[in-house]
Amino acid sequence: MKIAISPDAAAEKITDGAVLLIGGFMGVGSPHRLIDAIVSSNVRDLTVVANDTAMPGKGIGKLITSGQVSRVVASHIGLNPETQAKMIKGDIEVELVPQGTLVERIRAGGVGLGGVLTRTGIGTPVEDGKDIIEVDGKPFLLEKPIRGDFALLNAQQADYVGNLEYSLTAHNFNPIMALAADTVIAEPHHILPVGAIPPDAVKTPGILVDYMLERAS
């Protein structure tokens, strides 16, 4: 049985300079209670790997506002003017990665692949400094795998051993990120007895989950 911990206790496990894989798409499917606890902590110099940085005052956007993030790897930052302003000012380093390439790089990190070959970015500044590999006479970029120190996930339901079920579009990056981090912390909306989640509905098996947040009071 997994021991559920408080958001503050989970946030205390995250150290300065950590790489965080954070699920979510514009805040949908992000672990909001855990993010709030990190904002309240003193941890600094974080690298956030996510689809986006949400919006000011929402989800990952709160970490941007708090000044705790030094680097972002994301597919877009268009909805968060604070991220844009900090990037232009030089306060945050931003690596923009096409969405499909980003999720495949994370998956590669999770399943032990040495990288991903893609034609996305060929002939653009994206290819600068990257290895180009020819396959059947066509050039492909070698995009290297991404792993994190922590994966911070949101789930609709968990059972007592940590099996996770996601709801609708909250699937987004969460199941893939669960594969690619040293420590996985899940924030379920509901915690149920073992067997209450049908096996086919489990998208992240409990063996991958290190900690779960306790129910909200």
pLDDT at 217 over 70: no
Contact 203, 165 (CB under 8 A): yes
Edge-to-edge strand ranges of the sheet holding 138-143: 116-118, 138-143, 132-135
State both tokens at 1.
């049985």
pLDDT at 70 over 80: yes
Per residue in 101-124, pLDDT tens? 999 999 999 999 999 999 999 999
Per-domain residue ranges of the chain: 4-98+146-213
pLDDT score, position 44: 96
Query: Positive or negative CA dihedral for 79, 82, 85, 90?
Result: negative
Rounded Cα–Cα distance for residues 58 and 65 (Å):
10
Segment holding 99, helix H or strand E: helix 99-111
Q: Domain 4-98+146-213 adopts which CATH fold?
A: Glutaconate Coenzyme A-transferase (3.40.1080)
3-state secondary structure at position 5? strand
pLDDT score, position 35: 97
Rounded Cα–Cα distance for residues 95 and 200 (Å):
36
| pTM of the shown model | 0.94
Rounded Cα–Cα distance for residues 123 and 62 (Å):
36
pLDDT at 76 over 90: yes
Mean pLDDT of 52-57: 95
User: What distances in angstroms separate CA 47 from CA 61, 93, 202, 215, one per listed residue?
Assistant: 13, 9, 29, 27
Per residue in 36-51, pLDDT tens? 999 999 899 999 999 9
**Residue 33: band (very low, low, confident or very high) from pLDDT cuts 50, 70, 90:** very high
